Chain A
């Protein structure tokens, strides 16, 4: 090849060089694409180069834990200064690589249990955060300016050609693998088993460089299971208000629920309260949602027609297998999830997002940021934002858009409902409504360009508390908006600071609606309204198909 041609194939040449190094280092421990587990660190030492962008599957649910641990044992003489890309920092080893000088830069989306340690490391200078993203945003950058050089992923099974079966927990793998494979990167997969024939092919072998069978199955966390026994009367009341005041009002057929006990209460009220209101077939028909066990009674009652999922949920596998009319299930019978597509679905094909939060300010900006922790965003901002690129209409979208633009000189547009649902006081009497979000202070502490906001006020359309619903779409000035928020902020200092006359006026105009205004009898807000009151109830509703993980069972 002439020098001029070589100029345009540097990545491919580099890839070949890495493969050659691996071949030389592993010798007999490499059989085609299959690497012996005992040689995993040698593989990484050979395949990685200093400064590489490395994507490691810390997904929301599944973790490539064997590969993640192996990465902490590489020779820092040969491998250092890595730029890590992770959806979720969930395991200690995800941060150990920074402590050890193996990695120095990080781009990610969510950090969950590692949020405190992440903040400390960032402050100490051992870790330089490029940016915090939403999941879809991060995947998008894999195709633009953050393409991984090496990706470490997890799958259920592989065959000897490197084809992967990712099954119910496919999650982020297709997005990661495609970006990596088609820009001369190398995909390394840890699998639970190497078999002759896969149930189905989720990732083609052509995309995969190496496969290693890990000694123990990859780690999965059941994040989307909520025990109905923990749902309170206040949460039942708020769920009634959501169903009658929003779902019915706007005829919400396509939606996403942020995870939490508040939304679990809504899910469990569909077969009872919503059915009583005659809403079956009219609301909650199509979902972008992980397979929440709390949704089982609504599915069984015939409310739910389809669910597409970001990932799976431990214990739900057999139930999903038995309900292929509802879930996205392959010809092999098991579900296929896809976080990138589900996020896009939640953004463009859903008419409402509803979720909880920690703090809301006077403009409706909503944040889960707390001091001393860098938690990130996950996927919520994708769902919890108006989709300005959307063009197809629906009743809910048109109604919300019309409410926002009525009487203003603007071209008609629809708008997605973005509902923030929160009790006015959290644990230890911490108010959910504040004048200034902790996010500002966190931004200063952690040297962030802007305060980390989960959902921006101008995207929030409704705020729902135990005191009522504030419809921000109908507000026509910043002052009205602020008083509408104060009007549902109850006895918090923000709520007590309301202009009583203005709030009364907003209530008269229907901008604030209290439970009584919605025709809700608060005395009915008891746990008896839940379609299932405990984990056994969910199992019985599923006909015994749902198998809750151990920590949720007392049997």
Chain B
């Protein structure tokens, strides 16, 4: 079985989308690279770290992207962001069946300063525009670098987030939290804590990601197909927003004062939370089915 985590962005594309169906926009041969990095005398990548294009998924025409975590941690620069935005806008123009984003990013590419910040905010806006046009947006988070910063926020703008336990989703990165608030607040070198706090299993239990799969390209593909099929209305409505905010309020209340994720899992009714990290995906999903946040209240 092919580990999704170990594949490069380019290798993930034929493994997740229908093989051979991906038509890349602005391919590496177009050499649309970062002018900012060139100015800093820093190495560039011919695709600025992201592959965007049109493909088929289960026979339907979808638009998609894969971020390359190995290049600058997948961080979003001006060109990278513009490629994502262009692809998203074209998806609306061509009335795609869905948009599938294979995300792996540290967020804004700081080297590019404001250009990077603007790029990420434009991506968020474009994702919401895609949903408003009635097209489902699926975010997959399963790479070694996780999905952080502005891209973490962007991921949550999607209809569905699919993660593996190796994937991580958050806004502030662990080192940033430790630097800002001290090691007692968060020990970024405690890798087990980092994954308990930002990793796929915790996110699934809390309800921040809607599907959890094993670290296999095939599993992500199958989950994406199922996710798209399950969405009746992809638009972001006021009701949905209010429900999400109510859920977040309940979460704040129910986890008040709890610092350790295992205590939160215990609060969800999981008797032996220490077991959770070593469970394989199937066993975990069985356990989570009875306990994850929202099960009791009937939330999605």
Contacts and interface: CB of A to CB of B under 8 A. Distances in A.
A555 B277 contact: yes
B245 interface: no
A553 B3 CA distance: 18
Of residues A527, A533, A539, A555, which shows the largest number of chain B Cβ atoms within 10 Å of its Cβ?
A: A555
Given A539-B278, A544-B278, A554 B195 contact: yes
Interface string B175-214: 0000000000000001110111001000000000000000
B6 A554 contact: no
A551 B280 CA distance: 21
Contact of A527 (B6, B195, B277): B6
Interface residue tally of chain A, by bracket? 10 to 19
Contacts of A544: 278
B292 to A, nearest CB: 18
A539 B279 CA distance: 11
Contacts of B278: 536, 539, 544, 555
Contacts of A554: 166, 191-192, 194-195, 199
Contacts of B277: 555
A533 B280 CA distance: 16
A555 B3 contact: no
Interface string A91-130: 0000000000000000000000000000000000000000
A227 to B, nearest CB: 11
B6 A533 contact: yes
A551 B166 CA distance: 16
Contacts of B195: 554-555
Contacts of A536: 278
A534 to B, nearest CB: 9
A509 interface: no
Nearest to B280: A540
Interface in B1-59: 2-3, 6
Contacts of A533: 3, 6
Given A536-B278, A550-B190, A555-B277, 12 more contacts: A528-B2, A533-B3, A533-B6, A539-B278, A540-B280, A544-B278, A553-B191, A553-B192, A554-B166, A554-B194, A555-B195, A555-B196
10 contacts: A536-B278, A540-B280, A544-B278, A550-B190, A550-B192, A551-B191, A555-B192, A555-B196, A555-B277, A555-B278
A551 B191 CA distance: 7
Interface residue tally of chain B, by bracket? 10 to 19
B104 to A, nearest CB: 16
A178 B44 CA distance: 63
Contacts of B192: 550, 553-555
B174 to A, nearest CB: 11
A172 to B, nearest CB: 31
Interface in A507-555: 527-528, 533, 536, 539-540, 544, 550-551, 553-555
Interface of A: 527-528, 533, 536, 539-540, 544, 550-551, 553-555
Contacts of A551: 191
Nearest to A540: B280
Contacts of B166: 554
Contacts, number: 25
A533 B166 CA distance: 13
A536 B281 CA distance: 13
A183 B195 CA distance: 55
Interface of B: 2-3, 6, 166, 190-192, 194-196, 199, 277-278, 280
List 5 tightest A-B contacts by C-beta distance, closest first.
Answer: A555-B277, A554-B191, A554-B195, A555-B192, A553-B192
A527 B2 CA distance: 10
A537 to B, nearest CB: 10
A544 B6 CA distance: 23
Nearest to B274: A555
A550 B277 CA distance: 13
Contacts of A539: 278
Nearest to B6: A527
Of residues A533, A539, A554, which shows the largest number of chain B Cβ atoms within 10 Å of its Cβ?
A: A554
A551 B194 CA distance: 12
Nearest to B2: A528
B284 to A, nearest CB: 12
Contacts of A550: 190-192
Contacts of B2: 528
Contacts of B6: 527, 533
B188 to A, nearest CB: 12
Of residues A527, A539, A540, A550, which shows the largest number of chain B Cβ atoms within 10 Å of its Cβ?
A: A550
B150 to A, nearest CB: 24
B1 to A, nearest CB: 10
Nearest to B189: A551
B273 to A, nearest CB: 12
A533 B195 CA distance: 18
A315 to B, nearest CB: 14
Contacts of B196: 555
A380 to B, nearest CB: 31
A554 B280 CA distance: 14
A90 to B, nearest CB: 21
A324 to B, nearest CB: 24
A539 B192 CA distance: 15
A456 B6 CA distance: 40
B194 to A, nearest CB: 7
Contacts of A540: 280
A554 B196 CA distance: 8
Nearest to A536: B278
A499 B191 CA distance: 51
Nearest to A552: B191
Contacts of A553: 191-192
Contacts of B3: 533
A539 B191 CA distance: 17
Nearest to A555: B277
A544 B195 CA distance: 19
B195 to A, nearest CB: 4
